[in-house]
Structure 1
Amino acid sequence: MAKSILHIDASARRATSVTRDLSKDVVARLNGDVVTRDLFDALPHIDESWIGANFTPEADRTDAQKELLALSDKLIAEVKAADVLVIGVPVYNFGIPTNLKAWVDMICRAGITFRYTEAGPEGLLTGKRAILVAATGGTPVGSEIDFATNYMRHVLGFIGITDVQLVAADRLSVDAEGSIAEAKAQVAELAA
């Protein structure tokens, strides 16, 4: 049975993006049915009206509130339908770009993708795999100043996705050729 893959691109660069190129290589290696969500055209950020709609019980939501949550519902449906998420994670100023953070805010919804229990939060999107494809100019991936990949691992685990792998082309400003070659080797080692 073919895998369902959700491919998230978050780079502000279209033509020269390392994460876009490497994440395409990952998707090709996985060989499944692909849905691509390009965050180049930024998602709206959540605001007071969105939060109010989100915390209104579904049965009590007005048509306007339902409309405010429609994009979030669609993004969550994409995640739920996927067996594997391939997420391009460009590291900007030690963190993720705002368009990727807006996506995270839209998919992390209590009662839908996670819930709170007496034992703490419980992710509801279990049984999925995620592959983060990171690129940095100078930040070593996994270091104490990498607030991007560590954050994405945490967020994915929070919603129940604990099988998270990382392909990293870090420190591109130091050794771009070597870093990209190492990342391509990591892609080649990924289990399809």
Structure 2
Amino acid sequence: MSETGETIECRASRLGRTWTVYVPKHGVYGHGGTLKAVGESTARGLELVGVTAEVVIIPVTPELERLRSADEVRTTALSEAIAALALRRTTKRDIALATGVPARQVKEILAEQAEESNRRLRRRTQADRHTAPAPHPEMFTDPRPPRRTSSRPAPWATSCAPWALSARRPERRAPFPQTGHAGHPRATAVVQVISHFDAPARY
């Protein structure tokens, strides 16, 4: 790798017996009989224009493109198979035997999947935190209508002891009947209204 840490990927095409490379960004060509030779040729051309970077050669042919596509499909299928077996509590040794890959690769794929799952969870949490709607003021109000206050006394206020209720009742004076004797003064008596509440309660 170069001192600056820059890496330039170059696609190399096969023309006859020679690999050729073109870097359009810097206008540099490279060629060579082997991939190593074309890489060195391209690096020297970049140095001539004042660019110091590591050159990575990617050979390109129609057959190689189909092979890379097949590798991508296999990598995706392998990752899905390992994830499905791991969900079923399969041991890493059995997963390696079932998929035909080394146990070390199985561990690496499972670690990558766990890291990717954690990243998705963090992104989802951050997105929910930024897009959560503000609470509506009506959420903090009571939807029920206000209670009506009545001037009538509460039931417990009139269900006190019978003798206490009768003691508060006003007295009524009734005329005492005449005795029938002539000249006897007409007398009056205090008659207290007694209701059935006046009788002592029996339990």
Question: Above 0.5 in TM-score?
Answer: no
Flag the structure with larger Rg.
Answer: 2
Superposition TM-score, scaled by structure 1 size: 0.26
Bigger proportion of residues as strand: 1
- TM-score when normalising by structure 2: 0.25
